[in-house]
Each structure stands twice: as C-alpha cells, then as structure tokens.
Amino acid sequence: DAKTTQPTSMDCAEGRAANLPCNHSTISGNEYVYWYRQIHSQGPQYIIHGLKNNETNEMASLIITEDRKSSTLILPHATLRDTAVYYCIVTNSGNQFYFGTGTSLTVIP
Amino acid sequence: SAVISQKPSRDICQRGTSLTIQCQVDSQVTMMFWYRQQPGQSLTLIATANQGSEATYESGFVIDKFPISRPNLTFSTLTVSNMSPEDSSIYLCSVEYSGVSSYEQYFGPGTRLTVT
C-alpha cells in the first residue's frame, strides 16, 4: 500500500516555481523518496530521488525535511509541458513501488 | 536510463479471450515489474518478475489470471487471461537499475487494452 499523502491537484503559473508537497510520516530509516510524473497516460517518467539530503538534477530539486516525514519537489521554472500527475513514492525493502493517487499539476499560461 | 518497448501498444479484445503483452529492454536487468492502470486511476503493481524464478504476485492478482514469463534478462511477457471488460486498463512494465546505494525504475510506454 502507498505510504504517502499528496494534494489531489495544484495549479502553477508558467515560469514560476512549482512546489509539490508529499507527506510520508511512516518512512523508515533505509527507505528512499522517489518522484515520478506521468503525462497523459504515458509511462511514468523518473524525476529524482533521495534518502535524507536535498538533491538537485536538471529536472528538479528535492527537499527532504530533517525528520524525513515530508518532502517537496520543486520545478524551478514550470512550463506548460510540466502539466502532469506527479507521484511521490517511498520504497519498501523489496524494491517494489506502490503508487498513491498523486498530484495533478496544471501549469497555467 | 533504459529504452523499453512494449507490444502491442494497444488492442481491442473480446471477452473470454487472452492477450499476451511483451516487454523488451535494451540492456540486461535483473528485476522487471508489471503494473496495471485502470481508467482514471493510479498504477497498481501486479507482480515482480525476476529472471530464473517464478514471478511474485501482489495481493489480488493470481498467476492463473496474469501468467508471466521471464525467459531472459531483457524480455518478459504478461498474459491477461479470460478477459472481461473489467480488465480494460493500461498495462505497463518497468525495469530496475541499481546504483551504488539506491536504484531507479524506468517504465515502458504501456499497452492500452480495451475488452468488449
């Protein structure tokens, strides 16, 4: 079962930063936080993942709180192509991914 | 990242028939996964398929309904058997790549199945 909670939907103005929150209060010490997105029923696309340190790559930044009970995915300059459903996933020991309902992000021109 | 292909990309099938979905990856991987995404829903893990062993099914999914083969490290199939309209979904495979201390999953484009 999914172990994360995300808002159902969010809007963001084009060119502004999109900040997508995720709660994972039951995360255990060796579990990673992963973010994926799915654009219009395509296969989910990997964005970023982290354990406890903040991470940044060419797509996004991941901010994980010190207690690791929540995290935020930041898209620094949202474009219309970033409109998608964003999934926050906390892994279990068997490496399986259990998807929650995700956040539907709409980038508004 | 991996290049993953699935065949067919979509199909329309009659109830009571079976469909086999193929998943091909461009490099050798140990772990492959199959997911189902029903209309308007999130992804649900069906099973984990490791090469050389029987697939491990999640609760609510059984081998008789969703038999899986994993003949080598680059290929897997999922069969949807004795289909009903409730099986209309997108079926996706994914593969796991392991790094030094963590791993990533990459997903195929999906197979859109409609059962009439």
Nearest to B42 among A45, A94, A100 (CB): A100
Q: What is the mean pLDDT of residues B102-110?
A: 90
Q: Do A101 and B42 touch (CB under 8 A)?
A: yes
A chain contacts of residue B1, beta-carbon cutoff 8 Å: 46
Q: Which residues of B touch A49 (CB under 8 A)?
A: 102, 104
What is the nearest CA distance from A27 to chain B, expressed in angstroms?
A: 16
- Determine which of A99, A101, A103, A104 to mutate to test the interface with B (most B C-beta atoms within 10 Å): A99
In the DSSP assignment, the letter for residue B87 is G
**Chain A residue with minimal CA distance to B1?**
A46
The band of B73, judged by pLDDT with boundaries at 50, 70 and 90, is very high
Name the minimum distance, in Å, from the CA of B93 to any CA of chain A: 9
Q: How confident is the model at residue B51 (pLDDT cuts 50, 70, 90)?
A: confident
Q: Give the pLDDT mean for A3-27.
A: 95
| CA dist., res. B19 & res. A108, Å (int) | 40
* Chain B residues lying within 8 Å of A58, measured CB to CB: none
pLDDT at A96: 82
Q: A102 and B42 in contact by Cβ < 8 A? A: yes
pLDDT value, residue A30: 85
- In sequence order, which residues have a C-beta less than 8 Å from that of residue A93 and are 6 or more positions away? A30
% of chain A at pLDDT higher than 90: 77
Lookup: tokens for B25? 């990856």
- For residue range A63-107, list pLDDT tens digits in order: 999 999 999 999 999 999 999 999 999 986 567 888 889 999 999
**Angstroms from B114 CA to nearest CA on chain A:** 14
B32-42 per-position pLDDT tens digit: 999 999 999 99
CA B80 – CA A14 distance, rounded (Å): 42
Cα separation, A83 vs A75, in Å, equals: 11
Average pLDDT over residues B65-72: 96
